[in-house]
């Protein structure tokens, strides 16, 4: 186990297919060995990533870890939470062995919470857009885009706003993660609806599967722009030591 | 069989994976050995749990047992029933070998019944909110959140109210269970709709499966905040001796 | 074959699991050996049972037999039919070898028919409620609650009325059966919709399955309040000798 | 092959389960040996039968043959067609080796055609009701009840009308067949919708299945009031020699 | 390969089941050996055929070939196209080795094109009806009835119009093909909706299946009035040499 | 690996079925060996191709490669993008080893971007139509027709516009590709809705499948007008060396 509490089990691979893992220039990863490995170092800078999964699959934790990895590298990070209050996010991180205090203290990590009840796109749109565009942010998380969408009565406004945020992200070369709640808990989401997929350069899917009468979690990378990413469907677990990406899961049935 | 009428069958496990079962500080369990074991002692204090299942799977019984376990430890408990009258709840408990009288008598357990027909959120919202916030409650049950939802014409009001209750629960460090009726009897519920899953720190799913031409009940823990919980899908039964959580059920097909 | 025309085939069971079959005090059964056995003697007095099944699965016959069993024990019974005229019910009973005449003559069995076309809840609600509450009834059947529901334009009125009837049933310690038509002929019903399941203490599901290119009927008891009921899915047949509950049916696929 | 052009292949049965086939008093059959055998002689007099099937499964032919069998026994028959003109019905019958001319000539068979385009329930309701109630009819066919339903804008009117017709049928002890078009060609119909199943004493289901890369037709009797009918799912074919009911079809998958 | 460019692979059949193939009097076929064989010579004169299939399955080609076969026999043919311009139809025919020029020149084949965009039933209804009724047509194609339907705002008008055309077809003893686009590409169409199946004397279904990781096309004849047609599900291919109907395809899964 | 960065793995074929691969006159291909091979050289000139697939399957990359192949042959190409800005398209091409600069510089390749947010069919219709008809274009891409459709409130206008563009394409003998986003990520699209399939001479389907717990991409050609195309379902991959079409994928399950 390394200092960041990340443990990786060896992935079983055919011989001669040795993966070369080293952080590439211009790439931003999670600091989760197995996952960064799958991404060939991380996401390309200035890209937008969609993480889609059911409740409890760890979308928020993954997204937060992405920011913590950046904060550790002295970047500036912003987490826009429409789901959990700041204290709960911090507490959850602690449960996974991740400290957020020093980053919050020195300003490298900023967490803004707008409760899904209070979220009013017409009211908050410019405020949020302003946060994204005025601060010198390196990595951004919007958790979740689903809460965001469900708070808008006018779908066109939602699209316009999303587009405007995406424009700012691209323009400022921010590397962003949008999380999306998959309501059909045990079937693959329709990740392409409402144009989210048009904005997403990278898509990671999280889901539950049943294996030997236990509930397992698996992840797969559907696309990752400009990266020859790993196509395997791999098991992962969320433990007090962090998020561990394990080996391939036989008959993962991700797409059924 | 122990005094509380709880019996646990040995769970078959691979060697060396010995589970350590002891109640953790700050954890609140059911007093059902197998289940508390799966939860690594219980839920974290101040969390909200969603128990989702079809009719007859024992959601209400589980939720009541959770309160009885607290009452036995001299905590204060409140059961808000929108489905069954108090007498029926007491009678049902008796059928499972659980006595409620002494706790009701000494005030440690309080059961409030509002019939689903009479339930009018606009009318009862503040009353319920007041009960939650004014009393010094340690554990709370709302049975069921489905009755609650179906009595509201305006979904936004439902969300606002749910959020307000959740806020009070969190603020007062109450440990709560919300039950949800899964209408699709034999398929997994969409537990994430209407933002319930955003409020739920822990999710337990109950369902029927068919095994050797018999009707079995299985449960699985989807998530449990801050707890390295058991991922197995285990059979359970509701008997005159209480609720027994048994071993893993082969091919449980919880997610299909 | 016994005098009542009920024949039971031996059920294959593992040794040492000998079921004790004798009518329990305070229990009300069907007088169908196999089924009463599964119910451990019968339903608890004062409970409401939901029998759900497709057309032709014998819901009405089962419900009527339940009343005949009571009549034979000198109880007072009421059958509220919204589907079949009295003469047809009597004729159908005769086809199964059941005589209703003497019970109708001495008043122990009363059958009221309101055609589904004429059924107007607003008009008949108080009349029906009055029948339930004014007569000294031991057992009651409402056949079917589906006809009842489909005749109401206002779903809230339906719920209110159902609730009021259920209240009277509980208050007067009547043991009742509500039948429900499963429209999806070959898949399990959504028995929990419109709050019926909240009222039901006991649920029996009837359905068709295909076995060796023949059409079989199977039944399962989903729940039975206060009773450690049999969980098997057993075949049954409706014959000139009555309703016979047979053994378990391999691969019954009740839930698929 | 017998004079009526009906040929029956031997049905493979376990020994000792010899079916006794002879026409019972008060029963009305099709004059199709295999099918009458399955019905234990035929339908009970004064009952209503629903024949449900996809296009081309032979609902109309079966219904017409039922009338021809009665005409041959000097009964009076009425065929109400909302789908095919009289000439086409006669021609179709001829293709199956059935002569209708003599029965039409001597008045024992009457065929009335109202095109589905012209069918206007408000206009034709009393006319049809009048035909059913004024004539001394022994057997009646309504082909199809689906055309009938789709021509009504007000579903309540449809129900009222259907009920009124059914009342006349029962009152006059007419034996009737209603055909219903199953729109989901290859899956079992929801035969219970719109209260048809409440009126139907007998239900026969026709459907296509694929067997060894050929298209087969199978039929099953779901219920037959007052008759201990055959439960097998049997293949049948429509040939120039009439309708032949063959043996059981392995893995008929009627209900899937 | 014969002069018409039609090639047929031998169909594997059990011995003694020798199919007799010769064109029957009063029958109209495609001039495609395998298919005419399946139809026992062709469709009966004066019948309407529905050909249903997904895009690219060759509905239009089959329908055109039917007319060319008639033209070769000196009949008069009319092709009403709501999908493809005349030139494209001619070009497509040429790709399959079929010459249309001489038939167009001598007037035996007439092709009328109304673009689906311009098609206005209210405007074109009488014109089309006039074409059908005024010309001495032997064979008629409407390609496709789906375009026709989607251009009508009032479904009742569509039904009336369809019925009127069908009446003219029957009255004039025209042999007609209506094509229908199956929108669910890989599942069997609901061919019975909107009363098309009431008009269709014959139904041919075309669909894609996957076999050994290749895309195959199969066809089946669901019904053919007055014809003891072949029930097999057979593969076919569309090649520069025309349309070839091959043998049965194992596990064709036409109905799943 | 050849200069264009295209690598093809040998396709396993039965002996004697040697495919002849050479570019045919009047055919336009992708310059992707395996795919052009499947198309027997390419699409016929003046045809419209629909490429349908989920997000990340490479629709845009395939379409762009089609234009680059033409540009290399000194043709004039136009790419209408409603999804990605020009810079992103160029960057994406570079990731696959494709240079666009020289073609953009010498005017052989033109890329027009209208953001999906700004796309207003009423406003842009004539402009786009003008681009198609005024320029001497050899190959055209519209990426995607789905964005185009979702920006239109009036479906009839969408159809009219699409039809007008298609008319211009046909008239000017332009060879065009329309891409379509399949929203149901893991199931085959309904490619035939809204008359797109009426316009499409050729249809290529892209989709994800799971194989040995890895995410694979497969493609199949559903139809290709005037071409005896390959019917296999073949794996492909998008790599820094371009798009590689590999061999058949066992149990590709393209249609399930």
CB A44 within 8 A of CB A27: yes
Tens digit of pLDDT for each residue in F203-219?
999 988 888 889 999 99
| pLDDT, mean of residues D109-127 | 83
Going along A106-249, which residue ranges are E strands? Answer: 109-113, 139-143, 175-181, 202-211, 214-224, 234-239, 242-248
CB within 8 Å: F215 and A232: yes
Note the pLDDT of residue C24.
56
pLDDT bucket at C13, cuts 50 / 70 / 90 = very low
Residue E151: list chain F partners with CB under 8 A. none
Interface pTM, i.e. ipTM? 0.80
Note the pLDDT of residue C254.
65
A238 φ, ψ to 5°?
-110, 115
Cβ-Cβ contacts under 8 Å for A13 (sequence gap 6 or more): A19
Would you list the DSSP string of A76-106? Answer: -EEEEESSS-HHHHHHHHHHTT---HHHHHT
Give yes or no for residue C227 having a pLDDT over 50. yes
pLDDT bucket at D138, cuts 50 / 70 / 90 = very high
The more confidently predicted of residues C24 and C68 is C68
Tens digit of pLDDT for each residue in D200-229?
899 999 988 888 889 999 999 999 988 889
- The helices-and-strands tally (H runs, E runs) of chain C is 8, 11
Give yes or no for residue F13 having a pLDDT over 70. no
Strand-by-strand arrangement of the D77-81 sheet: D109-113, D77-81, D139-143, D175-181, D48-53, D202-211, D214-224, D234-239, D242-248
CB within 8 Å: F215 and A228: no
Quick one: closest CA in F to A255, which residue?
F186
Going along chain C, which residue ranges are E strands? Answer: 27-28, 43-44, 48-53, 77-81, 109-113, 139-143, 175-181, 202-211, 214-224, 234-239, 242-248
CA distances for D40 relative to C6, D28, D221, E131, angstroms: 22, 10, 11, 54
Place of tokens 């008997």: B239
| pLDDT, mean of residues C124-150 | 87
How many beta-carbon contacts under 8 Å exist across A and F? Answer: 79
Note the pLDDT of residue E254.
65
pLDDT bucket at A218, cuts 50 / 70 / 90 = very high
Residue E54: list chain F partners with CB under 8 A. 192
Question: Collapsing DSSP states into helix, strand and coil, what is residue A65?
Answer: helix
CA of residue D103 relative to chain centroid, distance: 19
Among A124-128, E102-106, E181-185, the minimum mean pLDDT is found in E181-185
Cα separation, D84 vs E43, in Å, equals 18
Among B139-143, C250-254, D129-133, F30-34, the minimum mean pLDDT is found in C250-254
pLDDT bucket at B256, cuts 50 / 70 / 90 = low
* Subunit partners of chain D (3 or more CB pairs within 8 A): C, E
Residue C182: list chain D partners with CB under 8 A. 192
Burial call C72-103: b when 16+ CB within 10 Å, e when fewer:
eeebbbbbbbbbbeeebbbbbbebbbbebeeb
Note the pLDDT of residue F151.
74
Tens digit of pLDDT for each residue in B6-39?
333 333 333 333 333 344 568 999 999 999 999 9
To which H or E segment does residue C225 belong? none
Tens digit of pLDDT for each residue in F81-99?
998 889 989 988 998 999 9
CB within 8 Å: A55 and B253: no
B248 φ, ψ to 5°?
-65, 150
pLDDT bucket at C122, cuts 50 / 70 / 90 = confident
CA of residue D162 relative to chain centroid, distance: 17
Cα separation, A56 vs B49, in Å, equals 12
Would you list the DSSP string of F160-215? Answer: HHHHHHHHHHHHTT-EEEEEEE-SSTTS---TTGGGHHHH-SEEEEEEEEEETTEE
Describe the crossing of helices B121-134 and B155-171 by its angle, rounded to 10 degrees. 10
| pLDDT, mean of residues D77-83 | 94
Token code pair at residue A66: 């992405």
Cα separation, B228 vs B39, in Å, equals 8
Note the pLDDT of residue C21.
38
Quick one: closest CA in B to C234, which residue?
B213
Note the pLDDT of residue B6.
35
Note the pLDDT of residue C161.
85
Give yes or no for residue D256 having a pLDDT over 60. no
Give yes or no for residue E134 having a pLDDT over 60. yes
Tens digit of pLDDT for each residue in A66-113?
999 999 999 999 999 998 889 989 988 998 999 999 999 999 999 999
Quick one: closest CA in A to B228, which residue?
A239
Cα dihedral sign, C169-C170-C175-C176: positive
Give yes or no for residue A211 having a pLDDT over 90. no
pLDDT bucket at E195, cuts 50 / 70 / 90 = low
Average pLDDT over chain E, rounded to an integer = 82
Of A115, F187, A194, C97, which Cα lies nearest the Cα of B167?
Answer: A115
Residue D83: list chain E partners with CB under 8 A. 198
Tens digit of pLDDT for each residue in B162-203?
888 988 898 899 999 999 887 655 554 444 455 677 788 999
Which candidate from A147, A183, A213 shows the least CB-CB separation from B248?
Answer: A213
CB within 8 Å: F223 and E55: yes
CA distances for E10 relative to E15, E209, E215, E233, E247, angstroms: 13, 21, 21, 15, 7
What's the pTM value of the predicted model, to 2 decimals?
0.84
* Subunit partners of chain E (3 or more CB pairs within 8 A): D, F
Would you list the DSSP string of B133-197? Answer: HHS--SEEEEE-HHHHHHT-S-HHHHHHHHHHHHHHHHHTT-EEEEEEE-SSTTS---TTGGGHH
Of A171, A173, A166, which Cα lies nearest the Cα of A195?
Answer: A166
Cβ-Cβ contacts under 8 Å for E209 (sequence gap 6 or more): E215, E216, E217, E218, E249, E252, E253, E254, F255
| pLDDT, mean of residues B69-84 | 94
Note the pLDDT of residue F24.
57
| pLDDT, mean of residues E141-166 | 82
Residue F249: list chain E partners with CB under 8 A. 213
Question: Collapsing DSSP states into helix, strand and coil, what is residue F56?
Answer: coil
Residue B232: list chain A partners with CB under 8 A. 213-215
Note the pLDDT of residue F161.
85
Cα separation, F187 vs F189, in Å, equals 6
Question: Collapsing DSSP states into helix, strand and coil, what is residue C143?
Answer: strand
Cβ-Cβ contacts under 8 Å for A63 (sequence gap 6 or more): A51, A79, A141, A143, A177, A179
Task: Inspect the structure and tell me whether chains C and E have 3 or more CB pairs less than 8 Å apart.
Answer: no
Of A82, A73, A60, which Cα lies nearest the Cα of A103?
Answer: A73
**Terminal Cα-to-Cα distance of chain E (whole angstroms):** 34
Which candidate from E192, E200, E232 shows the least CB-CB separation from D183?
Answer: E192
Which range is most confident: B118-122, D153-157, E177-181, F29-33? F29-33
| pLDDT, mean of residues A46-52 | 94
Of C133, C4, C132, which Cα lies nearest the Cα of C78?
Answer: C132
CB within 8 Å: D225 and C92: yes
Give yes or no for residue C151 having a pLDDT over 90. no
Tens digit of pLDDT for each residue in A151-177?
777 777 787 888 889 888 988 999 999
Note the pLDDT of residue B162.
85
Residue A92: list chain B partners with CB under 8 A. 225-226
Average pLDDT over chain A, rounded to an integer = 82
E71 φ, ψ to 5°?
-60, -40
| pLDDT, mean of residues C75-93 | 92
Interface residues on C facing B, Cβ-Cβ cutoff 8 A: 159-160, 163, 170, 188-193, 195, 197-198, 200, 203, 220-223, 225-226, 228, 231-233, 248-256
CB within 8 Å: B208 and C222: yes
CB within 8 Å: E231 and D240: no
Note the pLDDT of residue C183.
65
DSSP state of A241: T
Quick one: closest CA in D to C61, which residue?
D225
Interface residues on D facing E, Cβ-Cβ cutoff 8 A: 54-56, 83-84, 91-92, 95, 115-117, 147, 150, 181-186, 208-210, 212-216, 239-240
pLDDT bucket at C146, cuts 50 / 70 / 90 = confident
Give yes or no for residue D29 having a pLDDT over 90. yes
Note the pLDDT of residue B209.
86
Give yes or no for residue E68 having a pLDDT over 70. yes
CB within 8 Å: E190 and D213: no
Percent share of chain B, pLDDT over 70: 83
Token code pair at residue F153: 């409130």
Cα separation, A72 vs A104, in Å, equals 12
Cβ-Cβ contacts under 8 Å for F38 (sequence gap 6 or more): F221, F229, F230, F232, F234, F245
Which range is most confident: C85-89, E98-102, E113-117? E98-102
Cα separation, E79 vs A5, in Å, equals 74
Of B60, B26, B19, which Cα lies nearest the Cα of B43?
Answer: B26
Question: Collapsing DSSP states into helix, strand and coil, what is residue E186?
Answer: coil
Which candidate from B159, B160, B251 shows the least CB-CB separation from A213?
Answer: B251
Note the pLDDT of residue E193.
54
Neighbours of F224 (CB within 10 A): 22
| pLDDT, mean of residues E50-58 | 90
Residue B212: list chain C partners with CB under 8 A. 248
The more confidently predicted of residues C38 and B6 is C38
Of A212, A214, A207, A218, which Cα lies nearest the Cα of A244?
Answer: A218
For Cα atoms F177, F179, F180, give the angle at the middle one, nearest 5 degrees: 145
Which candidate from E55, E115, E184 shows the least CB-CB separation from F203?
Answer: E55
In angstroms, what is the C-alpha Rg of chain C? 17
Neighbours of C256 (CB within 10 A): 14
Cα separation, F60 vs A11, in Å, equals 33
Question: Collapsing DSSP states into helix, strand and coil, what is residue F248?
Answer: strand
Cα separation, F180 vs D211, in Å, equals 37
In angstroms, what is the C-alpha Rg of chain D? 17
CA of residue B233 relative to chain centroid, distance: 17
Cα separation, A51 vs E182, in Å, equals 35
Note the pLDDT of residue B19.
33
Note the pLDDT of residue A162.
85
Note the pLDDT of residue D218.
93
Which candidate from A195, A221, A254 shows the least CB-CB separation from F210?
Answer: A254
Quick one: closest CA in A to B223, which residue?
A56
Note the pLDDT of residue D194.
53
| pLDDT, mean of residues D42-47 | 94
């Amino acid at each position: 186990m390394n200092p960041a509490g990340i443990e990786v089990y060896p992935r079983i691979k055919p011989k001669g297919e040795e993966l070369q893992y080293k952080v590439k220039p211009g790439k931003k990863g999670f600091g989760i060995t197995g996952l960064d490995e799958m991404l060939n170092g991380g996401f390309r800078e200035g890209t937008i990533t969609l993480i889609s999964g059911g409740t409890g699959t760890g979308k928020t934790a993954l997204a937060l870890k992405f920011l913590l990895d950046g904060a550790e590298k002295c970047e500036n990070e912003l987490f826009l939470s429409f789901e959990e209050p700041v204290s709960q996010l911090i507490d959850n991180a602690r449960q996974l062995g991740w400290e957020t205090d020093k980053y919050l203290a020195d300003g490298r990590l900023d967490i803004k919470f707008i409760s899904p009840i209070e979220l009013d796109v017409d009211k908050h749109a410019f405020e949020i857009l302003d946060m994204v565009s005025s601060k010198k942010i390196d990595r951004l998380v919007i958790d979740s885009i689903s809460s965001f969408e469900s708070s808008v009565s006018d779908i066109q406004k939602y699209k316009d706003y999303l587009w405007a945020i995406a424009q700012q992200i691209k323009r400022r070369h921010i590397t962003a993660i949008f999380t999306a709640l998959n309501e059909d808990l045990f079937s693959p989401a329709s990740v392409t609806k409402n144009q989210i997929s048009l904005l997403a350069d990278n898509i990671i899917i999280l889901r539950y599967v049943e294996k030997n009468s236990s509930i397992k979690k698996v992840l797969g990378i559907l696309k990752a722009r400009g990266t020859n990413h790993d196509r395997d469907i791999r098991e992962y677990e969320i433990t007090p030591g962090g998020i561990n990406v394990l080996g391939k899961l036989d008959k993962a049935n991700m797409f059924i």
